[in-house]
A and B are shown apart, each in its own frame.
Chain A
Amino acid sequence: MTNKLLLMPRASRPREVQFPSRRIIDRAGGHAFMMTTAFPLLIVILMIVALLVRTRPILESKPIGDLLLGQTWHPLRGEFGFYPFIIGTLWITLAAMLLAVPPCLLSAVFLAEYARPVIGAIMKPLLDLLAGIPSVVYGVWGLVAIVPWVQTIAAPASQQWLDFLPFFAVNNTTGYSILAGAIVLAVMVAPVIISVTYEVMQAVPDGLRESSLAVGATRWQTIKHVVVPKAAPGILIGIVLGFSRAFGETMAVLMVVGNVPRVPSSIFDPAYPLTALIANNYGEMLSIPLYDSALMGAALVLLMVVLIFNLASALLLQHILRRSQT
């Protein structure tokens, strides 16, 4: 077949035979492209493996239960208990999400459903702009505005009126507290949550809204029973993105949260999140045995939590999407 084609005058041969190199390039290029697509997966695996290898010395010398549930952090005496740090991270992230999610969702609903389209068109790029502000700048704001506010207004007010509530006791008068960290984080993740939620709500077809309004529902009822259920998977993505950002944030939190390695019992207590632990101790760790391994372990814990959270939400999302299709 090919021989016959090659006997033809060059110009009248089919292009594939005229330039056989085209097919070779297509194949080779395909292989090259596919090889690079493996890169992100490789990096994720490499990160896990590298951190595991570096964490091994401490995993071998201490049982994992002691590490994760140990209460004391005293590297010089060889005590590495992550418990206060893990709990600190959880407190700050959860408080931040509690503060951020309701107003963010309501704002997004307002922008998508009530505000004139012009306002949405102005707000969207503005939010993207704000999402790009570096975390250090949020930290500076926290230090200058939020910490003094907690110290002089929020803490005394809580002491006067909310002291009997379990999580509102004031035992710390510096202002460097979980509350300060949570406020900074909440504002930091707000642009992300709002812009994602706004976008998915806009994508809900108008026909659905109109039919709901046509049968006599109020706008809020339409939102509650039609728009939000339809947009739920997208809203979930927005919240997960916000959570990931809050959970892994280092600099902004480190600057306002006090960094005391004790298990907190109130939002006015200082805390010491895992991220801050790594960032604060990097310079000095090489001289103390197992210290560096312990810090790598902290990084591994962070990575694993984020991985599990992201995987779970991806699977959940797939499940929801599949169910809504059928």
Chain B
Amino acid sequence: MKRRFSRRYLEEKFFQALMGLSLLLVTGSLAGILLTVVIKGAPALTLDMITKTPQGGYYLGKEGGILNAIVGSLYLAGGGTILALIVSIPTVLGLNVYARGTRWADLVRLSLDLMWGTPSIVYGAFGFTLMLALGLKASLLAGIIVLGLLELPIMARAVDELIRMIPEELEESSFALGANRFETALFVILRQILPGLATAILLAFGRGIGDAASVLFTAGYTDRIPDSLMAPAASLPLAVFFQLNTPFPEVQQRAYAAALILTVIVLLTSLGSRWLAGRLGRYTIR
């Protein structure tokens, strides 16, 4: 009886209750977000939304859809992901094969962390400066470059994790057979991370497609589907933002629908990466 009401017993119960409440609060609010987007967005979601570009008077509540933003976002995030991939693979291979355990590797990892923490609006401002310096206008290309920079640390960190999970014996066997570092990096390590790379790519893509602040000044916004790298490109997050800011309820409804489309794309990307990771995981040596 005494044990049951001792201070530490009560403390235990108190904190257990608190933890249960916290978990409920956090999961509840997160579920609330998804629910809000679905409830608000679903009624306004029509086939026209995803198959048509804005027609005349669209922003007053007339005909049209946001195909321009969907395609623009896919182009922007896709291009950014390719760019990030091209830079991050050699960077991470270099860090793990040629510069393993050096101070230089620590410094580079620190700067990747710094890039990871840099707000996307700062990338936007920097990208804008870069654009002016290079004489570019707000365009698909400028947006892709900025998103590439934004996605680089995400991708690099994911790939770095992948390489760290490779058993050391695998590299040692490669060296023991007489392969040099370059061959080990390209034919052993790169192959070993290839399945996981699919996950990293989709992760970076999902982050890129959802980012608004960085493409705000660099990619511009247009009602047309971009036909060249130099043309401005619309994007889904900005479509949500701009349409919410109009005073017309019909257009605001469409903003909710656009938010739903964006959420679905991001969740599908994320689920797809999980599915791929599970499926391709068996091709690696453990």
Contacts and interface: CB of A to CB of B under 8 A. Distances in A.
Interface of A: 15, 22-23, 25-26, 29-30, 32-34, 36-41, 43-44, 46-47, 50-51, 54, 102-104, 106-107, 109-111, 114, 125, 128-130, 132-141, 143-145, 187, 190-191, 194, 218-221, 241, 244, 247-251, 255, 275, 278-279, 282, 295-296, 299, 302-303, 306-307, 309-311, 314
Nearest to A32: B90
Contacts of A248: 117-122
Nearest to A218: B12
Contacts of A275: 119, 121, 213
A90 B216 CA distance: 24
B137 interface: no
**Residue among A38, A133, A190, A279 with max Cβ neighbours from chain B (10 Å):** A133
A102 B213 CA distance: 29
A107 to B, nearest CB: 4
B225 to A, nearest CB: 21
Nearest to B129: A50
Given A36-B87, A40-B156, A137 B33 contact: yes
A299 B178 contact: no
B33 A40 contact: no
Contact of B113 (A34, A190, A295, A314): A314
Name A's interface SS. Answer: helix
Contacts of B105: 37
Contact of B115 (A36, A43, A221, A251): A43
Contacts of A15: 178
A103 B33 contact: no
Contacts of A25: 182
Given A125-B274, A136-B210, A140-B36, A36 B23 contact: no
Contacts of A191: 30
A25 B263 CA distance: 46
Contacts of B152: 40, 43
Contact of A110 (B20, B95, B210, B216): B20
A47 B122 contact: yes
Interface in B216-272: 216-217, 237, 240-241, 244, 255-256, 259, 262-263, 266-267, 269-271
